[in-house]
Amino acid sequence: MLKRIGVLVSGGGSNLQALIDGVESGLIPGEIAVVISNKPGVYALERASNHRIPTVVVNPRDCPNVVEFSKAILAVCQEYQVDLVCMAGFMRIIDRVLVEAYPNRILNIHPALLPAFGGKGMYGHHVHEAVIASGAKFSGATVHFVTAETDIGPIVTQEIVSVVDQDTPESVAAKVLQVEHQIYPQAVKLVMEEQFRIEGMRVLYSKS
């Protein structure tokens, strides 16, 4: 059973807060061992400190390249004996060196229904602008295993929100963020209990 979670953050940390709340409510059968940010002074770090969770800043500016940045993050995860890495509002690309150290043990939450509206440039308000411009009637959030490719990996869970005529990128973002906070703790619980198998890009829960 996976027990110790390492959370990677870059900003406000509302998804981190949802995971903290999930641990403290008993929903998530584990503990957050460390919160790692690529930026100092972000509110996510304050959220962690408010709950007496150790924090570490790994600044890419202190690393010569993305491989060394990823190795520095990996070193912190190993130091804190992390079993499961959760990217929560983490805005940096990581190198396969971290993915290979944690095969199907890194999760990310993306504010759209992957594989649509994912990949290069699809972050923050850009995602919601593209959703509205596309005429899509639904958007939502996706929790997926992280692979060496951006926003591509076996999907653990998704939840939809409706997109109506009056919606703006901001209003869609707000609806999606609410759903993110619901599905991320549930996804972490599912993965920690290891009641699934992966077949290609599919995460299957059936016992058969």
| Contact residues for ligand GRF, defined by CB under 6 A | 11-16, 44, 88-89, 109, 111, 177, 180
Q: How many CB atoms lie within 10 A of CB 185?
A: 21
CA distance 88 to 11: 9
CB 14 within 8 Å of CB 47: no
Q: Which is nearer to ligand GRF, 6 or 111 (CB)?
A: 111
Q: Which is nearer to ligand GRF, 96 or 125 (CB)?
A: 125
CA distance 60 to 68: 9
- Cβ of residue 197: shortest distance to ligand GRF, in angstroms? 26
- Cβ of residue 159: shortest distance to ligand GRF, in angstroms? 12
- Cβ of residue 18: shortest distance to ligand GRF, in angstroms? 8
Distances in whole angstroms, Cα of residue 100 to Cα of each of 63, 69, 96, 106, 135: 20, 15, 6, 10, 38
Q: Which is nearer to ligand GRF, 57 or 68 (CB)?
A: 57
Q: Which is nearer to ligand GRF, 41 or 200 (CB)?
A: 41
Residue nearest to ligand GRF (CB): 89
From the candidates 110, 128, 144, 181, give the one annotated as an active-site residue: 110
Q: Which of 66, 56, 68 is CA-nearest to residue 32? A: 56
**Amino acid, single-letter form, for residue 164:** V
- Cβ of residue 92: shortest distance to ligand GRF, in angstroms? 11
Catalytic residue check, 128: no
Catalytically active residues are 110
